Amino acid sequence: MAEKQKVVVVGAGPVGSLAALYAAQRGDDVEIYELRDDLRDPSTTPLNFTRSINLALSERGINAMRHSGQPKLLDHVMAATIPMRGRMIHGKRPNGQIFEQAQDYDAHGRAILAVDRGGLNKRLLDILEGMPNVTFYFNHKLTGADFRKCKAWFEIQGKESSTGRAREIEIDFDLMIGADGAHSAVRYHMMKFTRMDYHQEYIDTLWCEFQIKRKEDAPENEPMARFRISPNHLHIWPGKEFMFIAIPSDDGSFTCTLFAPSEVFERLEINPDQIPSFFDHHFPGVTALIQPYELITSFHQNPHLPLISIKCKPYHYGSSAVVLGDAAHAMVPFYGQGMNAGLEDVRILFGILDKHSLIGGRDDDDEESRSAVVRSSQREAALAEYTAVRAPDAHAINDLALQNYVEMRSEVLSPMYRLRKFLEESLSVHLPGLGWQTKYARVSFGNERYSEVVARSDYQGKALVRGFFGAVGLPLLAGGFLLYFRHRGALKSAVRACFGWLCRSVRR
Ligand code: FAD
């Protein structure tokens, strides 16, 4: 019987927890090391968030959970979600009238889901806890790793030795999965072993959380009456430079986020009493949903956080380490894909490892071929394939997420944007054989590779321009020529008269 492998997962966020579940399902010994305390302990505050926040979960994340081998996971997660079938754009007309405009995400009625990030994470931890081959190490911070010798060092948080220094432990592993977020220590140590290309960019936008409270006086037997605005939409108050969004929560409240350039935050920090009028000017209707004093308090109390976009390559070192999720490709949150892409990483990685029959005792007939050396070189090939497959896709969604910020805060109301959406959706509904879909639908409701989504969407854009030119431009041009040849004489004298008038005007 082949020896079990030891898989060490660093980071017990949604991606690390799902990766641990995939590895444990395949029979390996799994150890999870997490910097913070157990998330299920009510006193633990989620990293970067003042409380557990709501995220948009879509097909890629759902599909990764579907393939986890734990059907109850998906049932449980889905039961606590709220479908958001489109955007609700809030604005003000030139006459001062406040309006709402619903824009469905999909011509076929598909929806993305608002999910409590902490709830999803806790469910994963609960399942892992019940597995005999999984061990948790909370309050353990990765401080060093030698990927050639397969050894790592962790500092135990809050525990000091008799010398007053933090206690450190040394462990060994066969495979380390780094799912320790945007500021990944695994990635940092991996860079010492491999020639990793690395690019990070802070966009000049900060974000801060607010909350629209539930209606307290809503009747108990009418759960929908608890919501102050439609619960089935992702609400957007677009501003050219700023954006305010609201995502529904199960309890009737909304998690809201202000995105604005750092200079705006600085201005509001100096003059906090201008916060309500700033909202009235840029995000009409918000002060009717959040009391002005609550806006000021939240702005003061909640952190003003940066947004980072990270691209790197390769994602692995030899046969011993791989980074997933934000550790590999943190992205700005404007496509609602960060967590979804991270969960998809897990499905793709384990699909490739399975193909090479590496994780667990799936292919243990040939004992010889399961020797440690052979397994290690097979795993190296699998991890290299993972990097080759996944890097172009992760880079593509990073770019799309950056582009979508412009779309969300300004293009959503532009006639060109709406015309393209209308044409693509009409073709998708009336000529399904053509396989046309909007880029948004391909990203959020399918599992096509992100890089293919970009290629297909570019192709569709060009075909639309050509089709539009063929259907409208060519007949117009032909009509123009016909007119010219019929009334050549009259047109020539008209042009001459205009030219003469222009010259006289210029001379004057
Ligand atoms: P993380 O969630 O960052 O987890 C990393 C874990 O590693 C943490 O628990 C951390 O404590 C631990 N850790 C860190 N360092 C160490 C160490 N040295 N040793 C041990 N453990 C360590 N995504 C979506 O899909 N949809 C959305 O709608 C969406 N909205 C978002 C809105 C905002 C405002 C932001 C900021 C992000 C949003 N995202 C969204 C992105 C999403 O939150 C992340 O992509 C996702 O949380 C990444 O998960 P992860 O497990 O890779 O990393």
Distance 465 CA to ligand 1 centre (A): 39
Cβ of 338 less than 6 Å from ligand 1: yes
pLDDT tens-digit map of 366-383: 555 557 788 888 899 999
Cβ–ligand 1 contact at 257 (below 6 Å): yes
Beta carbon of 339 within 6 Å of any ligand 1 atom: yes
CA–CA separation, 46 and 140 (whole Å) = 16
Average pLDDT over residues 3-23: 95
Taking the CA of residue 342 as reference, the ligand 1 atom at the shortest distance is 52
Question: Which is more confidently placed, 107 or 31?
Answer: 31
Distance in Å, CA 417 to ligand 1 centroid: 31
Check residue 466 and give its pLDDT: 76
Strands 243-248 and 321-323: unpaired
- Cβ of 36 closer than 6 Å to ligand 1, yes or no, is yes
pLDDT at 508 over 50: no
Helix residue ranges, H only, 191-330: 262-270, 275-282, 292-301, 326-329
DSSP string, 6-67: EEEEE--SHHHHHHHHHHHHTT-EEEEE-SS--TTSTTPPPTTSSS--EEEE-HHHHHHHHT
pLDDT for 86: 96
Dist. CA 326 → ligand 1 center (Å): 6
Q: What is the pLDDT of residues 215-224, one digit of tens each?
A: 988 887 887 8
Counting Cβ atoms within 10 Å, is residue 196 exposed (0-12), middle (13-18) or buried (19+)? Answer: middle
pLDDT tens profile 339-370: 999 999 999 999 999 999 755 555 555 555 55
Output the pLDDT for position 506: 42
Walk across the sheet containing 316-317 and list its strands. Answer: 134-137, 29-33, 6-10, 175-178, 321-323, 316-317
Instruction: Quote the ligand 1 centre to 181 CA distance (angstroms).
Output: 5
11 in contact with ligand 1, CB cutoff 6 A: yes
CA atoms within 13 A on the CB side of 56: 27
- Distance, CA of 341 to CA of 332 (rounded, Å): 12
* Residues 224-242 pLDDT 10s: 899 999 999 999 999 888 8
Dist. CA 13 → ligand 1 center (Å): 6
Task: Work out the number of other CB atoms within 10 angstroms of the CB of residue 281.
Answer: 11
Would you say residue 507 has pLDDT above 60?
no
Q: Which two tokens stand for residue 72?
A: 């109850």
Residue 284 beta carbon below 6 angstroms from any ligand 1 atom: no
Compute the distance from residue 414 Cα to the ligand 1 centre, in Å. 33
